[in-house]
Amino acid sequence: MTKSTASGVTPAYKVTQLTFTYRTYRDRSRSWEPDWSLKGLTFEVGSGEIFGVVGPNGSGKTSLLKLLAKVLRPQAGRVALFGHELEGMRQDAVARTVALVPQDSQQIFPFTITETVLMGRFPHQQSRGSLGGFGWEGPEDLRLARQAMEETDIAHLAHRLISDVSGGERQRAIIARALTQEPKVLLLDEPTAFLDLNHQLEICTILRRLNEQQGLTVVLSSHDLNLVSQYCDRILLLKDGTVFRLGTPEEVIRPDVLETVYRCEVLVDRHPVSGLPRVTLPSRLAVGVAHRMER
Amino acid sequence: MGFLGGQRRGEGSAKRTLPCDDAGTGMAATSVTPWAEQSVLTSRRWVATMLTLAGVSLLVMIASLRFGTEEIGFADSARILFQALRYGETGIDSPGSSSVILLQVRLPRVLLGFMVGGCLAAVGVGLQALLRNPLADPYVLGISSGAALGAAVAMLVGFGKTVLALSAISLCAFLGGLLSLVVVYRIALSYGHLPVHTLLLAGVILNAIFSALIMFVTSTMNPNRSFGMMSWLMGTLTAPDYPALVVLTVYLFVGGLILFMQTRPLNILTLGEESARSLGVEVERVKKTVFFTSALLTGAVVSVSGLIGFVGMVIPHAVRMVIGPDHRLLLPASAVVGGIFLLAADTAARTLLAPAEIPVGVITALAGGPFFIYLLMSRKGGLAR
């Protein structure tokens, strides 16, 4: 099951001493202060791996994904994408290899779903040397968009406006847009946050299938430890911007590890089918018991 | 949060339901096109729209050549224009005739009005996409008044004699416009995702500051010059001479072309800067290009026509409701419609109280202001976001 990150194969990502700080203005001290940050992250994502990033709120998951997509620039450290330094790559070259599905997407202009999905073809159209203002989507672009829309179950929404559909439908449209980029690496920030059970499963199935059939590398961040445990080959657990644990679900999803990071009690047992770790929050009764025991 | 125009287009395309399944699995190129045509801008629709608009603008131009203090029939106009083209006859030889009025006064003014309107609308499209604010407009955001201040200062110092020459005055207008654009953008940036209203407030304040400074500059001039200044500030089109018109045409055409080259990145930029970057847009480069070009165009337009408001907001908005938000079509179509609109407004300005003239800025503000209020009221909760 575990895909090798053995030497000889170029890893999808090689991250070395990555450091990033957000600065926000504080009214109280009247100065820009580092808000929260990533400090000296070093890890690798193997080619063809499904890689989960978990951690408490504010541990730096979103920043990490944006750094991997070159949307943000690190203050220090290096990111190599399939052996190429990200810093030296053109933005559209990055976009032909890496697609990012952000957590929330707002659109105030009345674009249709199809138009939004087709935007994923932009980096490829750039590489064909078309004029900035002109040029049309070719049949191949339309075919890829159509295929992505069928895969994400939004083909029936083709004519609807992206601003009019539900959060889940918008999320699936954004995933379709990312697939239309024909990426080798797909970065997803909380991909299932707005989705109901049915579509959560659907998205995970798509990711798994693309991963198995086309060798797509997937890096996803999530609060859903169970999802990460069931679908990811390896899991990176962040705490306060540093790597707390990196390994297989069995190595990371453990009661002692989670209690240290999340500072709360959890129950970890086995998934009845896969046998992988499964996380459960203590029930109301158990919380009562725990409190009583602490006293 | 669905925005205004969206609905109409959404409903429209929903009525034309052509089931998606028609395309089958969408594997063959020919079977893909039918479903896509419903929801994507195609080259055929682009050409059809632009040809229609070009035809309409030609008709409006011909009509506005006819009207004025003195009416010149279509047959006469055609004859005079034909002669001018055929023999290079400019009508100077026969002063007082209708050919002088047509060739020396009306035609250049009609062409100027069309270009000014077109530029304002094109700049409006660019700013709306870049600021992700469908109410952005060079006039409302204070960019025009920044440019006007620059031009006023240049005139006071005496860099140039005429308002028309694209010299130091235009340059100062450009700098003034750029300054206010940078200020507006810094305000927009400092809060990350800015509610639509806040940016408008920033524009209101900039406008107030610049107006005060312009008033101050005007008050230091002698009465004769300050009167000319006031009528220029209200937004007036005056017939330029042909060399100046040619320079302006080239200038505005190049600026418009640069904006047009950015339309595809602008489409992507409506998703937000971070998403655009992840899709391969060199965001900083596109932003700088659009900002500089907008400031240049606004500066040029303001230095020839003064403050003409609301064209840059109303026209892109209305056009977007009809043809959709794809900037590849929205930008050129808005430019043509903006030209038609200002041409019609200027014809009204010339004829309503003939022989007296109303400043065209008064007409556009009277038409655009209420539309602006309507937009604000119809959005209510949506605006606060």
- Residues A150-198 have pLDDT tens digits of 988 898 998 898 888 888 888 889 999 999 999 999 999 998 887 888 8
Query: Which residues of chain A neighbour B6 with C-beta distances below 8 Å?
Result: 109-110, 161, 163-164
| Within a domain: A91 | yes
For residue B23, give the nearest of A115, A123, A146 by CB distance. A146
DSSP classification of residue B73: -
In a domain, residue A246? The reply is yes
Question: Which of B15, B40, B286 to mutate against chain A (most A CBs within 10 Å)?
Answer: B40
Check CB contact of A146 with chain B, cutoff 8 Å.
Answer: yes
Cross-chain Cβ contact A133/B263 below 8 Å: yes
Query: Cβ A136–B42 below 8 Å, yes or no?
Result: yes
pLDDT at A37 over 70: yes
Nearest CA in chain B to A113: B39
Greatest distance between any 2 Cα atoms in chain B: 75
Is A293 inside any structural domain?
no
Please check the confidence at residue A101 and state whether its pLDDT lies above 90. yes
Per DSSP, helices labelled H in A253-294 are 255-262, 284-294
For tokens 């990460």, what's the residue?
Answer: A228
- Please indicate if any CB of chain B lies within 8 Å of the CB of A27: no
**Is pLDDT above 60 for A292?**
no
The radius of gyration of chain A from alpha carbons, rounded to an integer in Å, stands at: 20
Between A42 and B187, the more confident residue is: A42
Say whether B279 and A120 touch across the interface (CB within 8 A): yes
Question: Which positions 58-77 of A are in contact with B (Cβ < 8 Å)?
Answer: 66, 69-72
* Residue A147 forms part of a structural domain: yes
Identify whether A241 is part of a domain: yes
**Binary contact (B278, A99; C-beta < 8 A):** yes
* Alpha-carbon distance B345 to nearest alpha carbon in chain A (angstroms): 28
Is the pLDDT confidence value at B37 over 80?
no
Residue A1 in this model has a pLDDT that exceeds 70: no
Determine the pLDDT at residue B22. Answer: 38
Lowest mean pLDDT among B190-204, B218-232, B315-329, B347-361: B190-204
Global pTM reads 0.84
Residues 83-142 of A with CB under 8 A from B: 90-96, 98-100, 102, 105-116, 118-120, 122-123, 125-126, 131-137, 139-140, 142
The answer to whether B261 contacts A132, with C-beta atoms less than 8 Å apart, is yes
pLDDT average, residue stretch A6-33: 76
Specify the pLDDT at position B121.
95
> Is A232 within 8 Å of A52 (Cβ atoms)?
yes
C-beta atoms of B3 and A111 within 8 A = no
| Cβ atoms within 10 Å of B209's Cβ, excluding its own | 16
Under the banding of pLDDT at 50, 70 and 90, the label for residue A26 is: low
Q: Is A153 on the interface with B (CB under 8 A)?
A: no
Greatest alpha-carbon pair distance for chain A in Å reads 71
**pLDDT digits over B131-148, tens only?**
888 888 888 888 999 999
More confident position, A57 or B187? A57
From residue A97, give the alpha-carbon distance in Å to each of A91, A172, A179, B80: 10, 20, 11, 62
pLDDT given for residue A4 in this prediction:
46
**Interchain pair A142, B40: CB under 8 A:** yes
Q: Which domains are present in chain B?
A: 46-384 (1.10.3470.10)
Which residues neighbour B316 within 8 Å (Cβ) at sequence distance 6 or greater?
A: B121, B124, B125, B128, B330, B334
B271 contacts in A (CB within 8 Å)?
Answer: 105, 107, 116, 119
Of the pLDDT bands very low, low, confident and very high (cuts 50, 70, 90), residue B230 is confident
Shortest CA gap A249–chain B (Å): 29
Among chain B residues, the shortest Cα distance to A132 is held by B261
Out of A137, A147, A163, closest to residue B3 by CB: A163
Answer yes or no: is A27 within a domain.
Answer: yes
| Count of the separate structural domains present in chain A | 1
Round to whole Å and give the CA distance between A75 and A156. Answer: 44
User: Cβ(A222)–Cβ(A246) under 8 Å?
Assistant: no
Angle between helices B196-219 and B143-157 (to 10 degrees): 20
For residue A189, what are the domain limits?
13-254
Say whether B41 and A115 touch across the interface (CB within 8 A): yes
How close B297 comes to chain A (CA, Å)?
18
- The answer to whether residue A192 is domain-embedded is yes
Q: Is A155 on the interface with B (CB under 8 A)?
A: yes
Facing residue for B1 by CB, picked from A70, A116, A163:
A163
Residues of A within 8 A of B26 (CB-CB) are 142-143, 146-147, 150
Q: How far is A203 from chain B (nearest CA, A)?
A: 20
pLDDT band at A124 (very low <50, low <70, confident <90, very high): confident
Chain B interface disruption, residue of A107, A131, A164, A177, most B CBs within 10 A: A107
Mean pLDDT of B64-80: 75
Give just the sign of the alpha carbon dihedral B144, B148, B151, B153.
negative
Q: State whether B274 and A66 contact (CB < 8 Å).
A: yes
Assess contact for B122 and B311: CB atoms under 8 A. Answer: no
- Number of A to B CB contacts under 8 A, please give it: 171
Q: Which residues of A touch B22 (CB under 8 A)?
A: none
Band of residue B284 on the pLDDT scale cut at 50, 70, 90 = confident
CATH at residue A31: 3.40.50.300
pLDDT above 80 for B39: no
Contact A115 B326 (CB under 8 A): yes
CB-based contact B261 A131, cutoff 8 Å: yes
Mutate to test the interface with B, among A161, A164, A182, A188 (most CBs of B within 10 A): A161
A45 pLDDT band (50/70/90 cuts)? Answer: very high
| Closest by Cα among B314, B263, B259, B252 to B291 | B259
Record: contact A110-B10, CB cut-off 8 A: yes
